[in-house]
Amino acid sequence: MSTEEKKFETQNLPTKTYFWPLKRYQDLYNSALTDSEGFWAKHSDVLSWEKPWEKVLDWNPPYARWFVGGKLNMSYQCVDRHAKSWRKSKVAIYWEGENGDTQTISYSDLYENVNRYASVLKKLGIGKGDRVTVYLPMIPEMVYILLACNRVGAIHNVIFSGFSSQSIADRVNDSGSKMVVTASGGHRRGKILPLKEIVDEAVKSTPSVEHVLVIKYTGYEVVMDPARDVWAHDMLKDADKYVAPEAMDSTDPLFILYTSGTTGKPKGILHGTGGYGVWACNTLKWAFKPTDESVFWCTADVGWITGHTYVVYAPLALGLTQVIYEGAPDYPSVDRWWEIIDKYGVSIFYTSPTAIRMFMRHGEELPAKHNLGTLEMLGSVGEPINPEAWEWYYKNIGHENCPISDTWWQTETGGFMITPCPGIQSFPLKPGSATLPLPGVDPVVVDAEGKELPANEIGFIAIRKPWPGIMLGIYNGDELYKKTYWSRFPGWYCPGDFSMKDSDGYLWLLGRADEVIKVAGHRISTAELEHALVGHSSVAEAAVASRPDEVKGEAIVVFVTLKKDVEASADVKRELTHHLRTAIGTIATPEEIIFVEKLPKTRSGKIMRRLLKAVANEVPIGDTTTLDDETSVNEARAAFDELL
Ligand code: PRX
């Protein structure tokens, strides 16, 4: 027996065991570290290359360029190669609308639609390198459009359909998009989201937009501007059946996706083609062990990175069958998701801790009403999963038969980084730990100076080597890229999370170490919220903190000082909530708004966030000797008490 096997024999084993000695995983992990070139050369064959690459990695810190010299097209990976094979009649997508409409889309249907949409894009003047903003509900056209963008070499920029006109305008302008693709409406909890109207407002201030391409959906009436707006169904009538996929360089951009950081403005994370594609496919295989019989369901919206990588690119490039559901998890009833698993025989189910906690509140009777016996693998993403939610998920959804891959990663990493990987081999799981790094990921837990910490101590996580899924950079933001991710621990990628490695080498990802809040797994920065708040005519100063929320993980608590002539009132609170939703979107809805006379600041004028957080959380506030005016804290606390 090897030492490793012995270690796992003797250690205090966690309760959930999918247990083989860590041999295959370790061999693979070690070979990715010691022979990175050989390892990735082998694993790059998950994609079909139009021209083989010449060099695995060009590492010019902090820029990594993967599979240099290679040419490929991602829409080819996701449709052509399946439509030309036995998979042509295989179901690519079981689509279910919130209102009960359904579509079954085979790989040859997908091929046909992607080609026709690519032809529409071309006819509207979209070509290689152009940016296309996409603001769509979770309808099949979301997939067609993204792959059609790839096909003609355009860079898509998806904006989650909960974001406001202002957020769309900012992202369209930063990306210089030539086109916005939207739908007349989308369904959400029985209501219609007026997507086209929201876009109309946004494009009043986006000079780069030449066309708005509109997909007719929901029957919601919209006003078309004949000089700018185009109905997709009109254009599709004359669309070509085939558009040759543009041969892209492996290092060409595939998409931009805006995400919040510590600055007031979201950053356009730019991902490449070959490296991202290789990472997306391999990570899905490792973490979820899919087969051609699998029915995969990732519940994320394509508006977020999880939907990009694990709804669009990885499952389709691997030729899987997947479910896409348009609506809310609890509409029309809280067992809608379990009904869908039952209906389509879902075998791999991937969702967020927030969703699990929401279901927990409604009790185990609801999932118990449905046959979930087809499930083989479960997954979790977006925020730390508390052991209680993990256990509930394991027991009531997986019926103690399915491993849970708790996947830790980020918009910037392109795909999973730290996760159990039953696709390589099984090993013991610990509820709440994302376990071990995937092959190619070299993490270390360090103190503020970058010194590696011993086991069981909490510090920052850093990644010491580039991996194929790493972003190309920030669109229009070279300096920001260097500063945000590479300046803290030079030469290492700094994700901005707290972490701890336990004595078995398992990693525990413990939440953000910066001013980023995770509301229902969605990322939002305090700076962005504060920036929006001070844009309101009643607000003098604003500071934002978070407070733990039983379902959403974290909730937004806003502290504001009002301008002299403004009276604090419930009306002003309502107005500020509305203002945040208009400036950013629904995810910016605050849980509490607290009026204070002064914000607690240090003598050098910096807002003492620790204090605000303590007030928001009602915990002892610790040392306040550097505080300029202690009364403001007491005041904030008193205002908070009133709300309870
Ligand atoms: O704090 C980590 C948390 O989500 C952040 C990344 O957010 P975003 O770019 O929006 O991507 C979310 C989907 C990949 C991370 O910095 N996070 C994500 N997954 C986990 C997690 N925290 C703990 N455990 C996870 N499994």
Which residue is closest in CA terms to ligand 1's atom 14? 410
Cα 608 to Cα 95, 285, 530, 535, distances in angstroms: 48, 45, 14, 21
**Cβ–ligand 1 contact at 251 (below 6 Å):** no
Most informative mutation of 523, 525, 546 for ligand 1 (most atoms within 8 A of CB): 523
Confidence of residue 261 (pLDDT cuts 50, 70, 90): confident
CA of 382 to the centre of ligand 1 (A): 4
Confidence of residue 606 (pLDDT cuts 50, 70, 90): confident
**Cβ–ligand 1 contact at 306 (below 6 Å):** yes
Residue with the bigger pLDDT between 11 and 376: it is 376
Most informative mutation of 158, 352, 383, 552 for ligand 1 (most atoms within 8 A of CB): 383
> Which pLDDT score, from 0 to 100, does residue 80 have?
98
Q: Does residue 614 contact residue 195 with C-beta atoms inside 8 Å? A: no
> Which pLDDT score, from 0 to 100, does residue 602 have?
85
Residue 1 has pLDDT above 50, yes or no: no
Which range, of 246-260, 372-386, 616-630, averages the lowest pLDDT? 616-630
Residue with the bigger pLDDT between 475 and 609: it is 475
Write the pLDDT tens digit of every residue in 538-592.
Answer: 999 999 999 999 999 999 999 999 999 999 999 999 999 999 999 999 999 999 9
How far is Cα 264 from Cα 286, in angstroms, rounded to an integer?
36
Q: 165-175 and 570-583 are packed helices; what angle lies between their axes, rounded to 10 degrees?
A: 30
Q: 609-617 and 630-643 are packed helices; what angle lies between their axes, rounded to 10 degrees?
A: 30
Mean pLDDT of 406-428: 95
Tell me, yes or no, if the pTM score tops 0.80: yes
Mean pLDDT of 291-300: 97
> Which pLDDT score, from 0 to 100, does residue 307 have?
98
Residue 229 has pLDDT above 80, yes or no: yes
Write the pLDDT tens digit of every residue in 63-82.
Answer: 999 999 999 999 999 999 99
Which residue is closest in CA terms to ligand 1's atom 23? 384
Write the pLDDT tens digit of every residue in 480-518.
Answer: 999 999 999 999 999 999 999 999 999 999 999 998 999
Residue 340 has pLDDT above 60, yes or no: yes
> Which pLDDT score, from 0 to 100, does residue 230 have?
98
Write the pLDDT tens digit of every residue in 269-288.
Answer: 999 999 999 999 999 999 99
**Triad 343, 346, 351: Cα angle to 5°:** 115
How far is Cα 111 from Cα 90, in angstroms, rounded to an integer?
12
> Which pLDDT score, from 0 to 100, does residue 13 have?
42
> Which pLDDT score, from 0 to 100, does residue 608 have?
85
> Which pLDDT score, from 0 to 100, does residue 9 have?
42
Residue 293 has pLDDT above 80, yes or no: yes
Residue 14 has pLDDT above 70, yes or no: no
Most informative mutation of 271, 313, 410, 554 for ligand 1 (most atoms within 8 A of CB): 410
Residue 640 has pLDDT above 60, yes or no: no
Task: Determine the 3-state secondary structure of 446 from DSSP.
Answer: strand
Residue 407 has pLDDT above 80, yes or no: yes
Which residue is closest in CA terms to ligand 1's atom 7? 410
Q: How many CB atoms lie within 10 A of CB 225?
A: 11
Residue 643 has pLDDT above 60, yes or no: no
- Residue written as tokens 């360029």? 65
CA of 235 to the centre of ligand 1 (A): 39
> Which pLDDT score, from 0 to 100, does residue 618 have?
74
Residue 611 has pLDDT above 90, yes or no: no
Confidence of residue 99 (pLDDT cuts 50, 70, 90): very high
